[in-house]
């Protein structure tokens, strides 16, 4: 899932950072059945939660903290759910 974030490398080469939220989506579906039910508990619309999961917009720190609490994610597990980084070059 693409994040709107670009690193400028030497010359014209750019590297795009992609966050993979598949594990987070699996946890949401396991615990709440669907993203819409989870989004309601988060105070977010279905569109807004989808935007976060697709990395069209970033999760805020407070959203990550609330989601971790709702999903019973330990603080040391947060990176594997929210910051699973894949790197690709164009």
By the 8 A CB rule, do 39 and 49 touch? yes
Averaged pLDDT of the chain: 83
**What's residue 56's pLDDT?**
83
Give the torsion through C-alpha atoms of 50, 79, 15, 21, to 10 deg: -30
**pTM, rounded to two decimals:** 0.77
Average pLDDT score over residue span 59-87:
93
CA distance 9 to 20: 22
The answer on pLDDT for 14 being more than 70 is: no
């Amino acid at each position: 899932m693409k994040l709107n974030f670009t690193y400028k490398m030497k010359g014209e080469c750019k590297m795009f950072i992609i966050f993979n939220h598949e594990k987070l989506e699996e946890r949401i579906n396991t615990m709440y059945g669907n993203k819409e039910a989870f989004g309601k508990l988060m105070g977010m619309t279905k569109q807004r939660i989808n935007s976060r999961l697709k990395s069209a917009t970033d999760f805020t720190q407070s959203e990550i903290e609330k989601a971790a609490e709702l999903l019973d994610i330990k603080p040391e597990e947060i990176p594997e759910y929210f910051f699973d980084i894949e790197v690709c070059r164009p």
